[in-house]
Amino acid sequence: MLADMIERLLERHLDDSAQARARGGEWLPELWAKFEEMGLPLALLSEEQGGFGLDPADQGEALRLLGRHAVPLPVAETMGANRLLAAAGLPLAEGAAGLARADALTLNEGRLTGRVARIAWGDKLDCLALAVGDRLYRVPRSGWTVAEAGLALNFQPRPTLQIDWTADVSAPLPHCPLAEGSTLRAFQIAGALEAALDMTLEHTGTRVQFGKPLSKFQAVQHELAKLAGELACATAAADLAAEALARCDLLGVAAGSLRAREAAGSGASIATQMHGAIGFTREHRLQLFTTSLWTWRDEFGGQVSWAKLLGQAALDAGGTGYWPMVTAL
Amino acid sequence: MSSIAFPRPPEDTAAVIALRTEFRAFLDKELAGRSPRARSDNWYGFDRGFSRAMGQAGYLGMTWSKQYGGHERSAYERYVVVEETLAAGAPVGAHWIADRQSGPSIIKFGTEEQKELLLPGIAAGELAFCIGMSEPDSGSDLAATRTRAVRDGGNYRVTGTKVWTSFAHEADWVILFCRTGSGGPTDRQQGTSQLLVDLKNTPGLTIKPIIDLAGQHHFNEMHFEDAIVPANMLLGEEGNGWNQVMSELAFERSGPERFLSSIELLYQVIEALKGIDSDAAQITLGRVTARLAVLRRLSRSVTAMLQSGQDAALQAAIVKDVGAVFEQAMPDIARELIDAEPGPIAASAYASVLANITLNAPSWSLRGGTREILRGIIARGLGTR
Ligand SMILES: Cc1cc2nc3c(=O)[nH]c(=O)nc-3n(C[C@H](O)[C@H](O)[C@H](O)COP(=O)(O)OP(=O)(O)OC[C@H]3O[C@@H](n4cnc5c(N)ncnc54)[C@H](O)[C@@H]3O)c2cc1C
């Protein structure tokens, strides 16, 4: 249901020219307003928290759609920030929101100051959900200025923010924003890979070389099969991460995140190769997905930090404890 | 949408969790003292005693009706037992094929007489089966099979050669894929059938070893020279062999064995690295664990499909393809972390397991359908052929 609504909305309000404007750093206010009208920022909340009480499968579907259409707005981030804020009992965002771990901030006589790096659309947000140590702070827009511009690989803004705020709204941290954000990204990656596979099937099915469609060549078919495998892994990985997040199990989040991120890289590379030169242009829509895949796989905790967390747990489990650890993920 | 859907895996209910705990205790007891090297044989280990113990404890024929010695448990409960058996490196060869595919094929296509004759023995861990599909000139192209069965009164007379038959020298029965029609061009698939052949009591059948590159005798050549098979041992219908064999392959391709073949090496790597402070070890093990956890999830999704009676052939092909890449990568992953000279006689448990896995890994993307054939199946599922 929600998925159909999102799909219809995006068909109407997110065309290639809107994508191009977003790529130039332009905020899409009409599209954002539509998302708000629909209540999407609250989609991960339970009914008691004022959300829709969606089951996990529908939540996942909604998040995947954001990736499937390469939505150039911080919708997923806002959904995640609201989930964190609601779990902490703090007021929800009144517009777009960001979330981050911000341990470099210092708290001095009630003032929170310091920098937070690379927040998606950081100058367009209503508030930030920032974790410092074991507390979650809800920082309103008046609490920061843009310190430094930044861009992601998909050319969307990632400014570094200077926080300076009288910290009057905070609560114990319910779960880590990196785990929250990384799980959201895993779903977006799975969605973008769906789009990449569809586009690659379409392209290889219609582009003719040597007198037949590319998809009739076995070498091409095998690459398509590999891409389908990466998509299957990314989708399962996102679900795995989400289930782990719900039980606050960082290891499961790490496992799901890592595998989705791996699929982002290998999937983007197959899709581009199968498109030929056209896939390497700004004009062709494939780049919306490949550049977003390359963006999302490194956000909310790097590949190395997530891998070390999970790898150390494997070492701690030892040879005999390893399998029980795996079945618990 | 083009993607191939994998449903949510079945729930780990209290009953499933209890089964896992109880079965781990069973394996601890049965496999006490089994060396890492022996555990790394994975499903090439063959031990009648172990299979009988599995049968007696109710861990074989788990999903089958009680009438035939089964236990009427869910496909997911069977999955749990199968993955735990493999993860523990148990010698499953004496029941593996029968429990996984021969029994289910007999349930699906067999006569009442065949069911009563064979299923209780399989569920008890007493009857071992093997797969008689491949031939010298019929590998990936299974429909090119030449072994011929000709009806002669109350019998079939069988002539031809099967190769790569795992455990034919140890097993009791083989399900033989053969040609019963004329073999004309329109008859390639339609002219085939399956026969249940008693390996120990079939005049005209000789079995010769083929030694694999690891130096082991695990597969064989089966030579049928006017061998006599009673006509009541026809499985299913004459001429329906191709459809039956495809259904059998779906059972064969769907399980967790498709990514756990090198799991013992992973345990040994972890043991060898214990207490060492190494970023490379942490990062590599993190990535490997993520791949494994996700493969497990996909494989459980396939089980959910089987449980609800859906056709999971495509999903199974994806799990087998991605799984084989994963398990075959393990020797190189290990070698990037730990220096050792592997060999059949080696200086450490790690090195001897590495040796065994290195020698056997090439077969994992051949057996049960090659990587290339699987990718063709997946591509067809995506609508490209
Ligand atoms: C360890 C092991 C155990 C086995 N156990 C059994 C058993 O118990 N019973 C049994 O019946 N069989 C068994 N097999 C046989 C197995 O099923 C076959 O090896 C497999 O089907 C491939 O056949 P082949 O070896 O003849 O290779 P071929 O079919 O000759 O293939 C050789 C190579 O060519 C590729 N190739 C073939 N056709 C195509 C195509 N159309 N497009 C692209 N590439 C292609 C293959 O992928 C492969 O890489 C076993 C094999 C192994 C390795």
The domains found in chain B, sorted by start residue, are 14-127 (1.10.540.10), 131-241 (2.40.110.10), 254-381 (1.20.140.10)
Judged by a CB distance cut-off of 8 A, whether residue A310 touches chain B is yes
| Distance in Å, alpha carbon of B57 to nearest chain A alpha carbon | 22
Predicted pLDDT at B117: 98
Predicted pLDDT at B1: 47
On chain B, the residues whose CB falls within 8 A of the CB of A58 are none
Residues making up chain A, counted from first to last: 329
Q: For residues B239-254, give the mean pLDDT.
A: 86
Please give the structure tokens belonging to residue A14: 């997110």
Q: Is the confidence at residue B107, as pLDDT, over 60?
A: yes
The predicted-structure confidence for B15-33, as pLDDT tens digits, reads as follows 999 999 999 999 999 999 9
Q: What is the dihedral of CA A260, A265, A267, A273, to 10 degrees?
A: 180
**Pairing between β-strand B205-211 and β-strand B217-230 as defined by DSSP bridges:** antiparallel
Q: Is there an atom of ligand 1 within 6 Å of B164 CB?
A: yes
- Which residue ranges make up each domain of chain A? 2-172, 177-327
Residue of B131, B101, B141, B42 lying closest to B372 (CA atoms): B141
B253 confidence band (pLDDT: 50, 70, 90)? confident
Look over chain B and give the mean of its residue pLDDT values, rounded to a whole number.
94
Predicted pLDDT at B183: 64
How open is the CA angle B343-B349-B354, to the nearest 5 degrees? 45
Cα distance between residue A106 and residue A94, in whole Å:
26
Judged by a CB distance cut-off of 8 A, whether residue A282 touches chain B is no
Give chain B's radius of gyration (CA, Å). Answer: 21
DSSP-derived secondary structure for A282-327: SSSTHHHHHHHHHHHTTSSS-HHHHHHHHHHHHHHHHHHHHHHHHH
Cα distance between residue A170 and residue A90, in whole Å:
7
Same fold, A2-172 and A177-327: no
Q: Is there an atom of ligand 1 within 6 Å of B177 CB?
A: no
Could you give the percent of chain B with pLDDT greater than 70? 98
- Give me the CATH topology for the region A177-327: Butyryl-CoA Dehydrogenase, subunit A; domain 3 (1.20.140)
On chain A, the residues whose CB falls within 8 A of the CB of B8 are 57, 239
On chain B, the residues whose CB falls within 8 A of the CB of A318 are 270-271, 274
Q: What is the CATH number of domain A2-172?
A: 2.40.110.10
CA A305 to chain centre: 17
pTM of the model: 0.96
Residue of B281, B333, B234, B307 lying closest to B80 (CA atoms): B307
Cβ under 8 Å to B: A residues 231-270: 231-233, 235-237, 239-240, 252, 254-259, 262
Taking an 8 Å cut-off on Cβ atoms, the answer to whether B289 and A232 are in contact is no
Predicted pLDDT at B309: 86
Q: Could you tell me which residue, B255 or A8, shows the higher pLDDT?
A: A8
Predicted pLDDT at B2: 53
Among B249, B356, B366, B375, which residue has the most ligand 1 atoms within 8 Å of its CB, making it the best to mutate? B366
Q: Is there an atom of ligand 1 within 6 Å of B139 CB?
A: yes
Cα distance between residue A215 and residue A224, in whole Å:
8
Counted across chains A and B, CB pairs separated by less than 8 A come out at: 172
Taking an 8 Å cut-off on Cβ atoms, the answer to whether A318 and B379 are in contact is no
The predicted-structure confidence for B304-317, as pLDDT tens digits, reads as follows 998 888 888 899 99
Q: Is the confidence at residue B275, as pLDDT, over 90?
A: no
Cα distance between residue A217 and residue A206, in whole Å:
13
Q: Is there an atom of ligand 1 within 6 Å of B144 CB?
A: no
Could you give the percent of chain B with pLDDT greater than 90? 87
Selecting from A197, A237, A309 the residue whose C-beta is nearest the C-beta of B286 gives A309
Q: Is the confidence at residue B71, as pLDDT, over 80?
A: yes
Q: What is the ipTM of this complex?
A: 0.96
Please give the structure tokens belonging to residue A99: 């979330």
Q: Is there an atom of ligand 1 within 6 Å of B365 CB?
A: no
Q: Is there an atom of ligand 1 within 6 Å of B136 CB?
A: no
Q: Is there an atom of ligand 1 within 6 Å of B161 CB?
A: no
Instruction: Find the closest chain A residue to B289 by CA distance.
Output: A255
The predicted-structure confidence for B132-145, as pLDDT tens digits, reads as follows 999 999 999 999 99
Taking CA atoms, A278 is separated from A95, A124, A155, A203, A284, in Å, by 37, 33, 19, 10, 6
Give chain A's radius of gyration (CA, Å). Answer: 20
Cα distance between residue B85 and residue B51, in whole Å:
11
pLDDT beneath 70, residues of chain A: none
Taking CA atoms, B152 is separated from B119, B196, B270, in Å, by 27, 16, 60
Cβ under 8 Å to A: B residues 59-98: 83, 87-88
Ligand 1 centroid to Cα of residue B166, in Å, is 13
> For ligand 1, what atom is nearest to the CA of residue B132?
11
Predicted pLDDT at B88: 97
